[in-house]
Amino acid sequence: MADMRVNLLGHTLNGPVIAASGTFGFGPEYADICDLRVLGGVSGKGLTLNGQAGNLGERLYETPSGIMNSIGLQNPGVRHFIQVELPQMKQMGTLAIANLGGATIEDYLEGADLLSASDVDMIELNISCPNVKHGGAALGIKADTAGDATAQVRAHCQKPLIVKLSPQAENLEAVCKAVEAAGADAISLTNTFSACAIDLEKRRPVFNNIFAGLSGPAIRPIALRMVWQAVGAVSIPVIGMGGIATGRDALEFIMAGAACVQVGAASFADPAACVRITREMEAWMDQNGVKTLDEIRGCARE
């Protein structure tokens, strides 16, 4: 049996699959559906300092092999999270990762201060949400703003810091390098792809914000290309995600050099997807005599 554990930022993950932010609640929602201890961790719903109600209008729209969403960072706020949701996350038997977003840099910094004083295992800095007007993806488009936001949060963050990047980055490799230089411990990518849908009967965009974030298998080959580029650009760990729905998909990201993966939209099509994908990876490794992910990580680049 292959050893599925992964070392990441001072922690030993139970497995290579982390549930991606925004698709898995804070984790306990899935406790009776799958064995959460198989997961490497859960990245909780994106938080903002004071919480927010999220977007009005349509929030979901199915596409071929994917889904568009415009949730708009609906969340209970950092303090509520620390008091209510985090203690439940800490009972899951897997890493509790706090995903932190914000509208202003001040909100990010105060959120990072509060989370640093909490029991969260890692912080994933979200500078890539496409569905909020301020902060969010705007920071992740250009290397200088991404690096500046990372540096400021780094100074307030006492936890391992993952920075989650946007596929809308103007120059992805430059953003990766800037974030690494600013002190990020790891990079995760990609967040959803900016996309559009129009309701023919209403003759209007489906979403109030016109554009929404596309995820699911439809984006996987593009996300894999971006993960490949990120791995080539930096020497810190890269957490790969984007449309992973099977163990084979996940292994592609590992062979491209990802330290581990996150699984998001696949949990909607199969609520036990994170565990199933781990098992499928393990089965492939066993069939191919691969004992640890270290043996194949980045092998496609050699």
Catalytic (active-site) positions: 129
Residue 54 in the binding site for another protein (CB under 8 A): yes
Degrees to nearest 5, angle at CA 280 with 278 and 284: 120
Distance between CA 77 and CA 83 in Å, rounded? 10
Report how many residues bind another protein under the rule CB under 8 A: 40
Residue 273 in the binding site for another protein (CB under 8 A): yes
Residue 208 in the binding site for another protein (CB under 8 A): no
- Interface segment toward another protein; rule CB under 8 A; list 23-31, 141-149, 172-180, 224-232: 23-31
Phi, psi of 18 (to 5 degrees): -110, 135
Q: Which residue lies nearer to another protein by CB, 167 or 213?
A: 213
We find the least distance from the C-beta atom of residue 59 to another protein, in angstroms, to be 5
How many other C-beta atoms can be found within 10 angstroms of the C-beta atom of residue 294? 13
Residue 214 in the binding site for another protein (CB under 8 A): no
How many other C-beta atoms can be found within 10 angstroms of the C-beta atom of residue 157? 24
How many other C-beta atoms can be found within 10 angstroms of the C-beta atom of residue 69? 24
Q: Which residue lies nearer to another protein by CB, 26 or 253?
A: 26
Q: Hey, what are 268's tokens? A: 């909607």
Q: Tokens 């698709």 appear where?
A: 23
CA 109 to chain centre: 20
Return the residue of 60, 84, 155, 300 that touches another protein, per CB under 8 A.
Answer: 60
Residue 247 in the binding site for another protein (CB under 8 A): no
β-sheet bridge partners, residue 67: 62, 215
Residue 114 in the binding site for another protein (CB under 8 A): no
Residue 297 in the binding site for another protein (CB under 8 A): no
CA 99 to chain centre: 8
Binding mask 69-108 for another protein (x = CB under 8 A): x-x--x----------------------------------
SS (H, E, C) 58-111: CCEEEECCEEEECCCCCECCHHHHHHHHHHHHCCCCCEEEEEECCCCHHHHHHH
Residue 56 in the binding site for another protein (CB under 8 A): yes
Return the residue of 3, 12, 37, 62 that touches another protein, per CB under 8 A.
Answer: 62
- Interface segment toward another protein; rule CB under 8 A; list 29-37, 97-105, 156-164, 232-240: 29-37
Q: Cis check for the bond before 48: say yes or no (omega within 30 of 0).
A: no
Q: Hey, what are 245's tokens? A: 């729905």
- Interface segment toward another protein; rule CB under 8 A; list 5-13, 55-63, 146-154, 225-233: 55-63
We find the least distance from the C-beta atom of residue 198 to another protein, in angstroms, to be 17
Residue 265 in the binding site for another protein (CB under 8 A): yes
Q: Which residue lies nearer to another protein by CB, 22 or 160?
A: 22
Distance between CA 255 and CA 272 in Å, rounded? 24
- Residue 273 CA: distances (Å) to CA of 197, 243, 247, 270: 27, 12, 10, 5
Query: Which residues contribute to the site for another protein (CB under 8 A)?
Result: 22-25, 28-34, 45, 53-54, 56, 58-60, 62-67, 69, 71, 74, 216-217, 245-246, 265-273
